[in-house]
Amino acid sequence: MAQILDGKALAKQIQAGHVSQIQTWQAAVGRPPGLAVLMVGDNPASAAYVRNKERACERMGIASLGKHLPTATTQAAVAEEILALNQNPNVDGILVQLPLPKHLNATSLLALIDPDKDADGLHPVNLGRLGRGEPGLRSCTPAGIMRLLAEYDIPLAGKTAVVLGRSILVGKPIGLMLLAADVTPTFAHSKTKNLAELTRSADILIAAVGVPRLVGKEMVKPGSTVIDVGINRVEGAEGGRAKLVGDIDFAAVEPIAGEITPVPGGIGPMTVTMLLENTIASYRNRMLAETTP
């Protein structure tokens, strides 16, 4: 049976590890790190994610300075809120909760965030820094995957990886991060031919697709490391109740993989933790900039 890579427990441990340092900084600086989550509209899944992030902030001593705007808010009004948060000295991290209502252009709104407050690491400047191998705020889900692999001492250099999915949110940045760690990554997507043959060759398989249980045992190399990013809500799965499942068929793959992440409790909690670490990193950088003559 595969070793379970327990993102939930690890995330808890990492978050707890920051608490006393944050208290010390707060006493010295006079304010805690601040994260502003901007939510527009009433998407119930988004509301649950935002609550999750706010609770994690509270546990760590990070101030939640978010705003919840009505669905009908105009592009100009959301832009104005973002620009105000850029200027707010108590805000170190800004996150615009996606998806936004259909009338809003997410790409142009995300580009307005100050790149040095871009807690989600999705600003073009930060994606450019990642591509160039320069320091910067990294996108949270791929950063969470890399941290999980590092904390479990999974050797990476010289290995092959197949990344299923090529989104800006997960697929592309995780490929770049693996490359920077001396892995040889291959991207696969909906047009990839002979998918199973390709994925079976991978020492590390990352699934970020959004198709419930797409990856069965015949697609996985025995002994490989399998990372499941997918979060899919399957209605009426168990006694009529909805259930969250990943892109990996966990029951089928666990017996043959070397390591595997569960859904829920794998990459999700690590993503939130990286968001908080980005906020802390931005707070530290801004404090240093203020105290350095």
Ligand X SMILES: NC(=O)c1ccc[n+]([C@@H]2O[C@H](COP(=O)([O-])OP(=O)(O)OC[C@H]3O[C@@H](n4cnc5c(N)ncnc54)[C@H](OP(=O)(O)O)[C@@H]3O)[C@@H](O)[C@H]2O)c1
**Sign of the CA dihedral running 14, 18, 20, 21:** positive
Taking CB under 6 A as the criterion, the residue among 64, 167, 184, 285 binding ligand X is 167
Angle (nearest 5°) at CA 59 between 55 and 65: 55
Inter-residue contact 262 to 249 (CB < 8 Å): no
Name every residue whose Cβ is closer than 8 Å to that of residue 130 and which is 6 or more positions away in sequence.
Answer: 121, 136, 138, 139, 173, 176, 177
Taking CB under 6 A as the criterion, the residue among 46, 86, 232, 285 binding ligand X is 232
Q: What single-letter DSSP state applies at residue 234?
A: E
Q: In this complex, which beta carbon is closest to ligand X, that of residue 166 or of residue 284?
A: 166
Q: Tell me the residue length of the chain.
A: 293
Distances (CA, A) of 188 to 43, 192, 196, 202, 286: 30, 6, 10, 12, 39
- In angstroms, the CA 78 to CA 237 distance is 38
Q: In this complex, which beta carbon is closest to ligand X, that of residue 141 or of residue 224?
A: 141
211 binds ligand X (CB under 6 A): yes
Taking CB under 6 A as the criterion, the residue among 141, 224, 261, 278 binding ligand X is 141
Taking CB under 6 A as the criterion, the residue among 34, 93, 121, 171 binding ligand X is 171
Please report how many Cα atoms fall inside a 13 Å half-sphere around the Cα of residue 160, on the Cβ side: 11
Q: In this complex, which beta carbon is closest to ligand X, that of residue 35 or of residue 73?
A: 35
> Residue 237 CB: number of other CB atoms within 10 A?
13
Taking CB under 6 A as the criterion, the residue among 267, 274, 275, 281 binding ligand X is 267
Q: Which residues are catalytic?
A: 53, 97, 120
Q: In this complex, which beta carbon is closest to ligand X, that of residue 186 or of residue 192?
A: 192
Inter-residue contact 88 to 65 (CB < 8 Å): yes
253 binds ligand X (CB under 6 A): no
Taking CB under 6 A as the criterion, the residue among 210, 258, 284, 286 binding ligand X is 210
170 binds ligand X (CB under 6 A): yes
Angle (nearest 5°) at CA 288 between 286 and 293: 115
Pick the piece of the chain touching ligand X (CB under 6 A) from 67-75, 83-91, 229-237, 277-285: 229-237
Q: In this complex, which beta carbon is closest to ligand X, that of residue 175 or of residue 230?
A: 230
Compute the least distance from the CB of residue 15 to ligand X, in Å.
Answer: 15
Compute the least distance from the CB of residue 144 to ligand X, in Å.
Answer: 7
Q: With CB under 6 A, what is the number of residues at the site for ligand X? A: 26
Taking CB under 6 A as the criterion, the residue among 12, 166, 243, 286 binding ligand X is 166
- In angstroms, the CA 46 to CA 44 distance is 5
Which residues of the chain form contacts with ligand X (CB under 6 A)?
141, 164-167, 169-171, 188-192, 195, 208-211, 214, 229-232, 267-268, 271
